[in-house]
Amino acid sequence: METLPADQLVARLKEHLRDGQSADGASRFVERKRRIVGDLDLSGLALPFPVEFEDCELDRLILVDARLDILRITRSTLSGIEGDRLAARGLQFDDEFVCKGSMWLPEARVEGDMNCGGATVENPRGWAVCLDGAHIGGRLFLRHGTYRGRVSAINARLDGGVSAFETTFEARRALDLARARIGGRLFLSKATVHGELRLFGVSVAEDVVLLAESLAGKVNLRAAVIDGQLRWRPTLVDGLTHVVLERARVGRLDDRGANWPEHGVNLRGFVYDDIADLGSSSTWTADRIEWIRRANGKRFDRQPYEQLEAVMRRGGYVHEARQVAMAKHDDLRGSGHLSRTGKWFNRFLGLTLGHGYAVWRALIPALVLAVIGALVFWYGEDAGQLAKGRANAPSFAAAIYSLDMLLPIVDLGQADARPPVSGISLYYSWLQISAGWLLATLIGLGLSGVVKKD
């Protein structure tokens, strides 16, 4: 491999710029199989032609405030890139490209794609790639790469999306796209992320696809806005400590057959318009309720229940939505937010009215009271515990008599004709009348919606 001092290469580039480019400015500058010695400083240069390095070895490449057409470095190694405010039509660091330091490109402006397919970047104690505040008009490709060090695009504009297929990220903050605006998809498939996947406040115009091979660390989607789907289907989550979806908003949640960590999921304020597999199995509702319960842990939050309930109602699963609502009220009892009296009242409303979502439950004790009453008053009439009926009184019917005692306001003509005067019939009538008024009041409250109110 031929050796060339970096300052001589800069001189050749300037000569090419001055004399060697074609009339339309499209001629390329290509270096192959060179060992460039020293820092290659192209700061401030405007090079309106493609610059390519193939099978080369470079020290540091300095591109601060440079304006380039297309820069392509392939099958080459270098010690680092410093490119604050670089402007280029396209960037390609692909095909076994190796950088043994940081690719430092904050506030860079790239009209087309930035392709890092097959790249290896190693800077374990700092940034592997820094694109903070950058604007990439095309797509950011990170496919088939390895990044040991932080990959960061905080506050960046990535108009064409981000694609990482069969890529490895290793750092405490492995991939940081906080507050980035992504115009296409964010696609991580068969990727390995060892460290935090930080998508705090990210805005994505299409889908976020997390089909990662392995996640170990934290996935932070707090306050993210995803107009399309959030597809969550990582293969392995054994090392995943937290998934934060707090105040995130997505168009559709697709986590069919997904692995969620057993604990450490934060759903507080998470909003979604739809779920991909809504009501797809007989256990779906119970599984979703359990998902929320694991996320809540010991800190009860009603919003995840209400969010799921609203989506199910819009999808036509009204009965299942009621189950979610009842689960919310049942779980409130164990949250520590209620006094001892409140817990007992909560349990009572759950058993009798399903917290207002199953008012028919109140008919069960009413039916039991009516049947027992029929037996008691049949015995009482035979034992002389009822007053003798008036001359025009209807004939005695134990079942109707019991209902007449139980139902408030309603007059079936039996109880007034021969009221109980002694024995068990008298005592049971007091119980049945009181229970009737109580159950009628509960049913009225349930039908009016008062019990459902939080």
Which of 57, 78, 99 marks a domain boundary? 78
Residue 300 resides in a domain = yes
Closest CA to 257 of 237, 235, 279: 235
Longest dimension (CA), the chain: 128
Which of 78, 112, 142 marks a domain boundary? 78
The C-alpha atoms of residue 423 and residue 430 are separated, in whole angstroms, by: 12
Which of 56, 78, 100 marks a domain boundary? 78
pLDDT of residue 271: 96
Residue 254 resides in a domain = no
Q: Say whether both 323 and 373 belong to one domain.
A: no
Q: What is the pTM of this model?
A: 0.77
The C-alpha atoms of residue 426 and residue 431 are separated, in whole angstroms, by: 9
Residue 61 resides in a domain = yes
Domain coverage including residue 72: 1-78
pLDDT of residue 352: 67
* Pairing of the two strands 140-141 and 162-165: parallel
pLDDT of residue 393: 73
Per-residue pLDDT of the chain (454 residues; tens, 9 = 90+): 799 999 999 999 988 888 765 444 558 899 999 999 999 999 999 999 999 999 999 999 999 999 999 999 999 999 999 999 999 999 999 889 999 999 999 999 999 999 999 999 999 999 999 999 999 999 999 999 999 999 999 999 999 999 999 999 999 999 999 999 999 999 999 999 999 999 999 999 999 999 888 888 889 999 999 999 999 988 766 667 789 999 999 999 998 766 788 778 899 999 999 998 887 777 888 889 989 988 887 788 889 999 999 999 898 888 888 888 888 878 876 665 656 665 665 666 666 666 666 777 777 888 888 889 889 888 888 888 888 766 677 888 888 888 888 888 777 878 888 888 888 888 888 898 888 888 877 777 676 665 655 5
Element (H, E) at 287: helix 284-296
pLDDT of residue 335: 60
Rounded to the nearest 5°, which phi and psi values hold at 112?
-110, -135
Residue 331 resides in a domain = yes
CB-CB contact of 233 with 255 (8 Å): yes
Integer CA distances (angstroms), 244 to 224, 237, 266, 301, in order: 10, 14, 5, 15
Closest CA to 330 of 296, 281, 280: 296
Residue 344 resides in a domain = no
Q: Say whether both 329 and 384 belong to one domain.
A: no
Integer CA distances (angstroms), 58 to 54, 81, 388, in order: 11, 10, 114
In 131-224, beta strands by DSSP E: 135-136, 140-141, 146-152, 157-158, 162-165, 168-170, 175-176, 181-182, 186-189, 192-194, 197-198, 203-204, 208-211, 214-220
| Tokens (6 digits) for 62 | 């300095």
Give the total number of structural domains in the chain: 3
The C-alpha atoms of residue 430 and residue 436 are separated, in whole angstroms, by: 10
Local structure of 192: helix, strand or coil: strand
Q: Say whether both 329 and 368 belong to one domain.
A: no
Q: Say whether both 370 and 442 belong to one domain.
A: yes
Residue 229 resides in a domain = no
Q: Say whether both 3 and 61 belong to one domain.
A: yes
* Sign of the dihedral through C-alpha 15, 21, 26, 27: negative
The C-alpha atoms of residue 179 and residue 241 are separated, in whole angstroms, by: 22
pLDDT of residue 349: 65
Rounded to the nearest 5°, which phi and psi values hold at 336?
85, 5
Residue 84 resides in a domain = no
Residue 3 resides in a domain = yes
Closest CA to 221 of 230, 212, 211: 230
Within 13 Å, how many C-alpha atoms sit on residue 276's CB side?
Answer: 14
Q: Say whether both 380 and 306 belong to one domain.
A: no
pLDDT of residue 113: 97
Contacts of 345 (CB under 8 A, 6+ apart): none
